[in-house]
């Protein structure tokens, strides 16, 4: 047979559709007709070797492929998935089962999105449990959940990016070198926020819209963990790291597009800090 001349001991050959493997052992050829690719593999030639190869995001010999554990969207990006969309991750320290997140692969890729507002159809005036567990849909308006956000930001050092858009389609961003929240026993306190960079500022010290809230507990309509004047408490809407009368609240009432502390707001945004119509908050490991 011609095939004998192609083989050396310890080598193998796979047919075109990866359904048969020929192995050469001690000068003898054995036939494996049970050879087949995993559902998570492809049949192709790489570096002159034709066989089953596990797809991006999986490890194995091609016949058996195991998903690579993704701790965040940067892991997803580094595994070869470079398209925006919904992926399944599990932070390394999480006690929860794997969960779905929206990965934003722009601006360097690997951003795990945990909040988005686009049209106001999802009610953000939710109770403590809703903010703890999350609500909405990852590819639409949503809050990922404070427990998930805690696990994500405590498996390493993370940076935060916030994209904002106003009613006349001006776009701004705020980026902080570090970002972390504590767990529920500490009321999801905003415990770390690094240096600011971005365009979401006009006159004041950069980043004060959020840095003002550093070391503040998270609060909701049914769990008041803030020290605020009574009139500001009555105006507050949604769940946020409220402090005093506040300098930001990206979970505010979408219907209030003009000057009201109930609205989505970000202090000192060029133009007006009350007319915000689009928000996206996302994190990525700090470099």
Q: How confident is the model at residue 69 (pLDDT cuts 50, 70, 90)?
A: confident
Say if CB 164 and CB 279 are below 8 A apart: yes
Residue ranges per structural domain of the chain? 11-67, 73-285
**pLDDT per residue as tens digits for the range 169-199:** 889 999 999 999 999 999 999 999 999 999 9
pTM: 0.80
CATH, domain 73-285, list 1.20.1250.20, 3.90.215.10, 3.40.190.10, 3.30.2010.10: 3.90.215.10
**pLDDT per residue as tens digits for the range 96-154:** 888 999 999 999 999 999 999 999 999 999 999 999 999 999 999 999 999 999 999 99
Contacts 24+ apart (CB under 8 A), 199-207: 199/172, 199/173, 199/174, 199/270, 200/162, 200/164, 200/172, 200/173, 200/174, 200/266, 200/269, 200/270, 201/174, 201/268, 201/269, 201/270, 202/268, 202/269, 202/270, 203/268, 204/267, 204/268, 207/174, 207/176
d(CA 282, CA 287): 15
**Check: CATH 2.60.40 for 11-67?**
no
């Amino acid at each position: 047979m011609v095939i004998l001349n192609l083989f050396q001991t310890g080598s193998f050959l796979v047919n075109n559709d990866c359904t048969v493997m020929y192995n050469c052992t001690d000068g003898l050829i054995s036939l494996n007709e049970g050879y087949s690719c995993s559902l998570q593999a492809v049949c192709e030639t790489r570096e002159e070797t034709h066989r089953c190869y596990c797809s991006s995001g999986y490890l194995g010999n091609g016949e058996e492929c195991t998903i690579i554990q993704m701790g965040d969207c940067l892991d997803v990006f580094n595994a070869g998935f470079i398209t925006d969309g919904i992926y399944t991750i599990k932070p390394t320290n999480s006690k929860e089962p794997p969960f779905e997140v929206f990965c934003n692969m722009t601006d360097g890729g690997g951003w795990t999105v945990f909040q988005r507002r686009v049209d106001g159809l999802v009610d953000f005036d939710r109770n403590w449990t809703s903010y703890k567990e999350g609500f909405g849909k990852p590819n639409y308006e949503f809050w990922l959940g404070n427990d998930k956000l805690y696990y994500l930001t405590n498996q390493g050092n993370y940076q935060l990016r916030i994209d904002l858009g106003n009613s006349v389609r001006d776009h701004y961003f705020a980026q902080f070198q570090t970002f972390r929240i504590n767990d529920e026993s500490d009321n999801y306190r905003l415990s770390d926020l690094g240096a600011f960079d971005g365009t979401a500022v006009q006159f004041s010290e950069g980043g004060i819209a959020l840095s003002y809230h550093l070391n503040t507990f998270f609060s909701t309509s049914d769990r008041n963990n803030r020290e605020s004047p009574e009139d500001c408490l009555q105006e507050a809407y949604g769940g946020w790291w409220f402090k005093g009368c506040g300098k930001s609240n990206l979970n505010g009432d979408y219907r209030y597009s003009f000057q009201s502390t109930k609205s989505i707001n970000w202090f000192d945004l060029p133009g007006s800090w009350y007319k915000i119509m689009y928000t996206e908050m996302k994190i990525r490991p700090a470099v």
